[in-house]
Amino acid sequence: MLNETVLYLFLIGVVSLVHTNRRYDFLLSFAAAVFVCVVFGAFLLDFKTGLDSSYTLVLDASQNTNIKLDIISSPQNYILILPFFVMTILAMFNNAFFKYEPNKKNMAACFVFNLLSLIMLISGHNFIQMMTFVLVVDILSQLFIRDMRAGRLCSLYNLVSDMGLFLVLAMLEGKLSNLDVGNISHYYETGKHRDFIMFVVMFSLCIKFGFFLFQGYWLDLKKAKFHNLYFLPYLSSSMAALILLVKFYPILVVSPSFLPLVNWLSVLTAVFGTIGAVLSSKIKEKFMYFNMIVMAFLVKLLERLDFQWNIYFSTVLILCFILSMCFYYFHYDIERKQAANKPAVFLEVLTTIGTASAIVLQTSFLFSKNTSWWILGFALVLCFVLALLCRQILSGVKNVKPLKPTDFLSISVMLFLNAFVLFLCRGEAMQYWVVLLFWACLMFVYYLTGFINITKTQEFEFQDVDFLGVFLRKCFITPFKKAGLLINILTDFILLERTFFPLLSGANIWLIRTYRKISRMGLSYYFLCMLFGFLISFYLFIRSKQ
């Protein structure tokens, strides 16, 4: 069952952390990957039997609310966990064999703990468990990045996003007096603020997805090394956000603004990602922009599936991960100046084409009965951008030259392949001539882009654009800082330090001086005191009578 899987993974993770000589790093990381494979085998067997079971560890029952860790084995949870298992195994083997990784063993441990956190996030039904493992995933992502400059913005963005989730979960707990995530649909009946909750959740999740307006940290990650980066969109915070989206769906969907927001954000992200991927000159940048499109595509896909995660969606996710691995290999082939190694590059191109076709195929499986133009459009944009990127990478990364008409035929084979797959798997609702027309238009656009001469200045100008960063700086951080400074000066310095306290001191000095003056007055002083005493007694006498 799932609790056994969790236990075995935990043990593998702990053993991977044991301090050993550096020379055993490969052996240990490889062994860890093999053991995770074995655990995966057991996981698949459990998946086949399809038995429901649950394991609960009560953390503290003495509190006003029970805080517990749930590990619930159910077919739905198995489907959710499956892609992450596969992707982790792929990443672990890659880590074991990749010779430039200095700390394979620790990296392997991080992978295992990350998978463990994702499993706990999926199998948990408790707000605190969910929040805990979202934060653990975020912290582990910092360990993956291992670069202070690249990780700084990422950790700050993730912190803001987590505080947003913290707000919503605390609010739900406060209103429902129940920590179970299964009860969130009742909030609509008990509480209000459906739009507020939806906007806060979407704000937090969009940051994690790196959607348009929130892509600042996403693009900053390009400073990190590629082998610490290629798996990040598929195994870290973004995936935690995807899982949360599925879990929060019942409370999000009650807001009428939810679906339009998802649509607009995913389209804008895809457009921005496409422009960025085409205009940027480095593979890592292209990769980050390309992943923006992938994230938008995945969210849109999930939305069309009514946020019901199924096995086809899991396959699409794995295929997208393989695509990112292709980018990663392209990068290292070019970095090591082995672009001349034609068989390797050919293999990479072939894998890329195959994966892209498989994505389209899987997507069409999802909508064989009811074709969604949105999704097909997204899938085609994905393939189109991929084709462009392959062409750009193969024609030289440093200087992107305008496309020659002769290049057109060789590279567009991939596009036709995808078109062919799409045509074969088209739904009943779609006419084949529409597909052809669509592809003709795409070809035309593709052909035109070859003549766009991208200068360095244009590239830098585009890559330096950080809408949210500028927006935050101009509209929030600067005014906040200025407001803080103003408050500080006005209240602390002018009002307190220069007015209130000197006034107190002045009054004190005045009282002492007056007292001294009066005391020098001799007899009149005693008379004055007596008069004062008499007045007080008189006042008290009157009060007592009343």
Partner 1 sequence: MSVGILLCLVILLPLIGGLFVLNAKDAVVSNAKNARHTALLTVFSNILLILFLFSHFQSAENQTLGLIDISFALTNKIEFIFGADLFALVFVFGVQIAVFVGILGVKKEVQSQKGVLFFALCYLCLTNGYFFARDICSFYICFCGQLFPLYMLICFANSEIQNTKLFYLFAHYFIGAALLFASFVLIMHTKQGDVLIEKISSVHFSHQKSIYIWGGIFLALMLRMPVWPFYHALTSVSVKLTNPLALIALNFLPLSGVYALTRYWPLDIPVEIELLSPIFQILCIVTMLVAAFGGLIYSNTAQKIHHYIFVYDLLYLLAVFLPTDVIRMNIAYSVFSFLLMGACLIVLQSHMQTQSLKTGLALKGILCHMPKASLCYFLFVLAAIGLPVSAFFWNNFLIVSEIFNYHLYAGTAVIFAMTLAAVSLLEGAYELKTQTCLPQTQIKIKDIDIFSFCVCVLIMSVLLVSVVRPLWFVF
3-class secondary structure for 336-354?
CCCCCCHHHHHHHHHHHHH
Q: How many residues bind partner 1 (CB under 8 A)?
A: 50
Q: Interior CA angle at 84 toward 80 and 85, to 5°?
A: 105
From 474, 481, 513, 517, residue interacting with partner 1 (rule: CB under 8 A): 481
CB atoms within 10 A of CB 52: 11
The binder of partner 1 chosen from 497, 524, 529, 535 (CB under 8 A):
497
One of 76, 155, 183, 449 touching partner 1 (CB under 8 A): 155
User: Taking CB under 8 A as the rule, which mask of x and - marks residues 103-132 in contact with partner 1?
Assistant: ------------------------xx--xx
- Do 110 and 95 meet the contact criterion of CB atoms below 8 Å apart? no
Q: Per CB under 8 A, does 509 bind partner 1? A: no
Least distance from C-beta 450 to partner 1, angstroms? 42
DSSP letter string, 206-236: HHHHT-TTS-HHHHHGGGS-GGGTTTHHHHS
**CB-based contact 79:311 (threshold 8 Å):** yes
Note whether 406 binds partner 1 by CB under 8 A: no
* Site stretch for partner 1 (CB under 8 A), options 300-308, 363-371, 398-406, 498-506: 498-506
Residues 133 and 120: their CA atoms lie apart, in Å, by: 7
Contacts with 35 (C-beta within 8 Å, 6 or more apart), sequence order: 8, 12
How many other CB atoms sit within 10 Å of the CB of residue 301?
23
CA 510 to chain centre: 63
How big is the chain, counted in residues?
A: 546
Q: Are 239 and 210 in contact (CB under 8 A)?
A: no
Pick from 20, 53, 177, 524: which binds partner 1 (CB under 8 A)? 177
AA identity, residue 536: I
Cα dist from 179 to 35, 171, 193, 321, 473, whole Å:
35, 11, 19, 34, 36
DSSP state of 59: E
**Binding status of residue 163 toward partner 1 by CB under 8 A:** yes
Smaller CB separation from partner 1, 174 or 405 = 174
Interface with partner 1, residue 170, by CB under 8 A: yes
Closest CA to 395 of 355, 465, 454, 445: 454
Interface with partner 1 in residues 340-379 (CB under 8 A): none
User: Looking at 174, 343, 405, 522, which residue binds partner 1 (CB under 8 A)?
Assistant: 174
- Binding segment (CB under 8 A) for partner 1, from list 12-20, 102-110, 427-435, 499-507: 499-507
Compute the least distance from the CB of residue 496 to partner 1, in Å: 5
Binding partner 1 (rule: CB under 8 A), the pick from 97, 480, 527, 539 is: 480
Q: Point out which span in 104-112, 156-164, 391-399, 438-446 binds partner 1 (CB under 8 A).
A: 156-164
496 interacts with partner 1 by CB under 8 A: yes
Q: Tell which positions 244-263 bind partner 1, by CB under 8 A.
A: none
Residue 201 main-chain phi, psi, to 5 deg: -65, -45
Q: How far is the CB of 493 from partner 1 (least distance, A)?
A: 9
Q: Which stretch binds partner 1 (CB under 8 A): 26-34, 357-365, 487-495, 524-532?
A: 487-495
Residue 54 phi/psi, 5-degree rounding, is -140, 150
Q: What is the C-alpha separation between 523 and 147, in angstroms, rounded?
A: 82
Helix, strand, or coil (residue 74): coil
Interface residue with partner 1 among 15, 31, 34, 171 (CB under 8 A) is 171
494 binds partner 1 (CB under 8 A): no
Q: Quick check: 67 binds partner 1 (CB under 8 A)?
A: yes
Per-residue string for binding with partner 1, 186-215, x by CB under 8 A?
-------x----------------------
In a 13 Å sphere around the CA of 462, the CA atoms on its Cβ side amount to 19
Q: Which is nearer to partner 1, 368 or 488 (CB)?
A: 488
Q: For partner 1, which is the closer residue by CB, 65 or 281?
A: 65
Distance of alpha carbon 253 from alpha carbon 449, whole angstroms: 39
SS3 7: helix
Residue 166 makes contact with partner 1 by CB under 8 A? yes
**Contact status: 59 vs partner 1 (CB under 8 A):** yes
CA 197 to chain centre: 18
For residue 170, the minimal CB distance to partner 1 (Å) is: 4
Tokens of residue 199, six digits? 């906007």
Does 535 help bind partner 1 (rule: CB under 8 A)?
Answer: no
Under DSSP, the state recorded for 64 is S
Q: Which residues bind partner 1 (CB under 8 A)?
A: 59-60, 62-65, 67, 127-128, 131-133, 135-136, 139, 148, 152, 155-156, 159-160, 162-163, 166-167, 169-175, 177, 193, 477, 480-481, 483-485, 487-488, 491-492, 495-497, 500-501, 504
